[in-house]
Structure 1
Amino acid sequence: MRLGFFGSTGRVGNVVLQNALQDGWNIKALVRNPEEYKEDSSLIKVIKGNALEEDSVFETIRDTDAVFSALGTDGNTTLSESIPLIIKGMQNYGVKRIVTIGTAGILQSRAEAGLYRFQSSESKRKLTRAAEEHLKVYSQLKETDLSWTILCPTYLPDGERIGKYRTEQDYLPIDGKMISVYDTGDYAYSLLQTGEYPCARVGICY
């Protein structure tokens, strides 16, 4: 498998990256500062740039079979501004499969029909900016013909690999409280392999 990778230095991203390297996948990783990049593998081709540069994004996607993004919000609009470039690059090179990491806030509310969790009483967060950024990604992906999946974890401590968790399309499983970075990354990696949950948001928790 040849994978275009955005966000490989993040917590979940690194778990996915390590799984892919262990299985011998070829990675093209977009990295802002290659001189600070800690991964040293012949399987990784580092692309210098950022996710708001079309040329850098396109080069990361060119000659790949799938795309993975663990880009975060980080107090800015990089997430929502980069997804149009990623979509355009995938369409340009005929790449269909993308798995991204979202947030449980953009899943549907069980308590209040028609609302997202971040808009409802289910959310404990007072600030909604991050969820709104992830919602923009969802809104744009669902208008495409790509095979996309947005994995939406709830509270995400480092924790440990337990290997058992619950998933549900469009909703957070009932009484879901948390999921570790490792189990989230492992499941995200499996989605790249199986193609499960195409064109869907997926809630994940213990």
Structure 2
Amino acid sequence: MNLVLFGATGRVGGHILATALQDGHHVTALVRTMEKLVHHQNQWGNLRVLPGNVLDLADVQRAVKGADAVISTLGTDGGTTLSDGIPHLVRAMEQEGVKRIITVGTAGILQSRTSPELLRYQSSESKRKLTRAAEEHHKAYTLLAQTELDWTIVCPTYLPDGTLLGSYRVERDFLPVDGAEISVPDTAAFTYSLLSSGEYIRSRVGIAY
């Protein structure tokens, strides 16, 4: 599979990158800092590292060309990177005829159980006082939902580094009841598993232990 990975130098993205390469996939990683992935490029001949930025449409188009699927683990970067970058991903994918995109969001954009008409970050269910990041992820979700792409947004709750347990709960549109945390490796493993699964197309998925 020809996979394009955005966010390959991040915590979740790094695990996905390593697994995809070990499984023999051809991975294109668009990164702002090339040095962070040089050791991977030397180790794996099927990794292509492109210098660039998701905020530059031409960079994104170059990365997506010839792809079978896209995974994005991009965060908000403390600003509008996510909501400004997702339209570039969508446009490039539509131009190239790429349908499948899996992104990593936040549990804040799942539906609230206490107020089902609201998202968790908008309700009393969320314990976070700052909502800026959730608002960015909400914009990204809205943008993807308006497309014809086969999107899935993995929505982890509190995300410590932790270890790979291989056992967790997932639920469409909601955070599993009493879910309090999920490790980075398990979040990455589930996200990666969706490449070979037809489940959760055009859905948000809550994940927690």
Q: TM-score category by the smaller chain? A: over 0.9
> C-alpha deviations, 1:108-143, integer Å up to 9, x for none?
000012010001111110000000000001000011
Which residue identity lines up with residue 42 of structure 1 in the other structure?
Answer: G
Distance, in Å, in 1 between the alignment partners of 2:124 and 2:36 is 42
Residue 125 in 1 paired to residue 132 in 2?
A: no
Distance 2:181 2:14 in 1: 19
In the TM superposition, what are the counterparts of 1:121-200 in structure 2 within 5 Å? 121-200=124-203
CA distance in 2, matches of 1:11, 1:182: 9
Match of 2:60 in 1: 57
TM-score, with structure 2 as normaliser: 0.97
Say if 2:103 is the partner of 1:106. Answer: no
Q: Are 1:26 and 2:29 matched, yes or no? A: no
**Partner residue of 2:46 out of 43, 49, 54:** 43
Task: Deviation per CA, 1:155-185: give whole Å up to 9, x if none.
Answer: 0001111111000000001010000000000
CA contact (8 A) 2:9 2:36 kept: no
SS in structure 2 opposite 1:138? helix
Residue of structure 1 in register with 2:11 after alignment: 11
**Alignment partner, residue 87 of structure 2:** 84
Instruction: Indicate the SS of the match to 1:171.
Output: coil
Which contiguous aligned blocks of 4+ residues in structure 1 show a shift greater than 4 angstroms? none
Count, aligned residues: 206
The answer for the alignment partner of 2:96 in structure 1 is: 93
SS, match of residue 39 in structure 1: helix
Q: State which drifts further: 38-47 or 93-102.
A: 38-47
Q: Whole-Å Cα distance in 1 between the matches of residues 97 and 84 of structure 2?
A: 21
Secondary structure at 2:40 match in 1:
coil
Q: Which amino acid aligns with 2:2?
A: R
Offset at 1:196?
A: 1.6
